[in-house]
Structure 1
Amino acid sequence: MSLNPVISRLIQKAYKMGFADIHTFDEDRMRAFLTHPKFKTNSAPFVDYKTHQNVTLRCYTPICPLSNQALKKPMGVLIYLSATAFVLDRLDASNDYCSLLANTLQMKVINIQHGLAPEHKFPKFLDDCVDSIIWLVEESHRLAILPEKLVIWGESSGGSIAASCTHVLRDRGLGYIKHQTLFYPMVDLVNPYPSKEIFGSGYMLDKTFIDWLDERGFYPSQDRSHPLVSPLLSSNFNNLPPATIMTAHYDPLRDEGELYAEKLKQAEVPLYHKRFDDMIHGFMRFYGKVPTCHEAFTTACQQIKLCLSKPQ
């Protein structure tokens, strides 16, 4: 299938505006350039909390579709890890998307404002997220959440962190996460793949940009093959949470994401995987413009509901 025509036009516009040169930007200019698109949705009210490690967690409460009022009963919670590229502050920028998640799922949504590179390199951003998940469970009564219905949703770099969180918590014997949703995750910073070669330029995730992220997110001496940096290289995929993995055909990270899905399947982890044949990396940022994004979002939410409806 050919590239979605709307996506194709948006790509052309982005590169005309200088997207190919973003690897030459400093962090401040990058943060100003990569703004997050807005879309119309019913805003879910939110409250900010601080963990013991001083990490900000923004907690969204869904709106009841009948009364249009915020729900007040304890409910399940989704941890959202956005595509920060390790350097972008997505706390305010994700208000629309987190509201959409909360209202669609009728669950609370927690957006974790983890430490950002280059000021905070690996493993700071991973540690922030793991510690925040543990804090949420410990403070579940205060936040009116049901810890037995805790799921995680990560996109791109957020998908990498989300995947690593499941491995860390599993290894600690903490089965908190009941389902993981990974959109086009970055799970192997070491090995070449055909998709990286074929789609490594001109599809909104150029190799030059990936190298830019790598230089800021990690110290030169850090081993990129460490399984918490590249979770695809983990030797143990047993007893990980059920997963939904969404990949895109025109994505340099396609092959590693699909191999990650295959490793989960081989370990008999319940899995739903779908490749969107006309999409690029990061296609969910075009929610509101491209019907395929609605399909992907709805399907992912349905998989969460299905998983949580099953007896524990």
Structure 2
Amino acid sequence: MLHPQAQALMKLMEERGVPPTHTLSPADARAFYRERRTFTQPAPPEVGAVRDLEARGPAGPIPLRSYRPAGSSPDAVLPVLVYYHGGGWVIGDLDTHDVLCRQLCNLSGCAVVAVDYRLGPENRFPAAVDDAVAAARWVSAQAAALKVDASRLAVGGDSAGGNLAAVVALAAREAGDLAVAFQLLIYPATDQRRGWPSHTTNGQGYVLTKDSMDYYHDHYIADKAQDLDWRASPLLHPDLSKLPPAFVLTAGYDPLRDEGLQYAHALTVAGTRATLVNFERQIHGFITMGRVIDEANVAVQLCAAQLKQALA
């Protein structure tokens, strides 16, 4: 059963004529996402410090935003989460996920560094991947200056950001030049082929639709053959062993539900520790909607607790 609060939100969106993402230009979709976030997101909690930074990237500077938890000493060396926002590799930015990053920071006691990677269609695959990897490497290299512990570095993200976090963990293992201690994967996209049953059962009527997923895919992936590249579809990597432990969170009414389930299971089968929790009554994107969906706040607390325990 769909959660009554999620039902109420969807009804309100219908009554107010909220346009589906796939009917908007990328520029308009980005502006709309940024503007509407205040209707569903909680008030931003105070943190110990916030700084906007830049990492050196393969195509120029990558904007970052660093957070330190409330009550922490400026000189304390903290574990760190490198966070990649959701938005289908097309929309989303540092502001759309500012509240979530603040929540995770305070509740976990970890520093958080959010990454504003390049978006499609202006910068197609693998631009976002290249930026995501470069940003994580930069945080690790700058650990002393950032007062974070490079040996306790996690990667995380929601939706498209969960995809990027999983890919960064794989890329780090492949290259052997970046230690990743934990993966926080919130309803991650793991298979660009989009053929799992939940894409059909949840493909209409639950905010994220098949039309919008096709829109995001086609603005990100230029060549269908790239769907099979593990940097686009981490589930298709032939070897998912010897990766950092993962916490995978999914939603029952999300088209991406089965991709998260399959990725968690594939990790476990390969010998990588993975925990899966499914919020059966929830929709895609719910974790940022704590103003109107109570279970979102529980999901944030759960993610933060997993992060805190993994990096203790």
TM-score band, normalised by shorter chain: over 0.9
The one of 282, 296, 299 aligned to 2:299: 296
> Aligned residue for 2:16?
17
| Secondary structure of 1:245's aligned partner | strand
Match among 46, 51, 55 for residue 47 of structure 1: 51
Per the TM alignment, residue 231 of structure 1 is displaced from its structure 2 partner at its CA by: 0.8
- Equivalent in 55, 60, 68 of residue 67 of structure 2: 60
Residue 86 (structure 1) shift = 1.1
Task: Give the whole-Å Cα distance in 2 for the aligned partners of 1:195 and 1:94.
Answer: 26
Report deviation, 1:34.
1.9
Tell me by how many angstroms 1:281 deviates: 1.0
Deviations 1:207-234 (A, max 9, x none): 0001111111121355211111111111
- TM-score, normalised via structure 2 length: 0.92
Within 5 Å, which residues of 2 pair with 1:84-103?
A: 84-103=87-106
Q: Distance in 2 between matches of 1:262 and 1:95?
A: 30
Whether the aligned pair in 2 keeps the contact of 1:62 and 1:71 (CA below 8 Å) is: no
Shift of 1:50: 1.6
The answer to whether the 8 Å contact 1:20/1:206 transfers is no
Instruction: Determine if contact 1:240/1:269 at 8 Å carries over to the other structure.
Output: yes
Match in the other structure for 1:6:
5
Is 117-126 or 84-93 further displaced after alignment?
A: 84-93
Give the structure 1 partner of residue 265 of structure 2: 262
Residue in structure 1 matched with residue 136 of structure 2 by the alignment: 133
**Cα 1:204–1:95 shift into 2, 3 Å:** same
What is the TM-score when the length of structure 1 is the normalising length?
0.92
Between 129-138 and 280-289, the greater mean CA deviation after superposition? 280-289
Q: Distance in 1 between matches of 2:45 and 2:287?
A: 18
Q: Does 1:154 find its partner at 2:161?
A: no
Contact residue 104 and residue 303 of structure 2 kept, 8 A: no
Q: CA deviation at 1:19?
A: 4.3
- 1:192: Cα distance to partner? 1.3
Report the CA distance between 1:92 and its aligned residue.
2.2
For residues 59 and 8 of structure 1, what CA distance do their matches in structure 2 show?
35
1:143 aligns with 2:146: yes
Pairing of 1:1-312 with structure 2 (within 5 A) = 2-19=1-18, 21-35=20-34, 36-37=37-38, 38-44=41-47, 45-53=49-57, 54-64=61-71, 71-220=74-223, 222-309=225-312
Render the CA deviation track for 1:241-291: whole Å, top value 9, x for unaligned: 100001111111111110101001101211211111111111112123322
Comparing 143-152 with 9-18, greater Cα deviation is found at 9-18
- Separation (CA, whole Å) in 2 of partners of 1:70 and 1:10: 40
CA contact (8 A) 2:253 2:281 kept: yes
Aligned residue pair count: 304
1:96-128 per-position Cα deviation (integer Å, ceiling 9, x unaligned):
222211111111110101111111111111100
Distance 1:177 1:149 in 2: 7
Kept in 2, the 8 Å contact 1:162–1:182? The answer is yes
Give the fraction of aligned pairs with identical amino acids, expressed as a percent: 29
Distance 1:210 1:280 in 2: 14
Preserved contact between residue 158 and residue 185 of structure 1 (Cα < 8 Å): yes
* CA contact 1:43–1:96 (8 Å) conserved in 2: no
Question: Residue 129 of structure 2 contacts residue 168 of structure 2 at CA under 8 Å; is this kept in 1?
Answer: yes
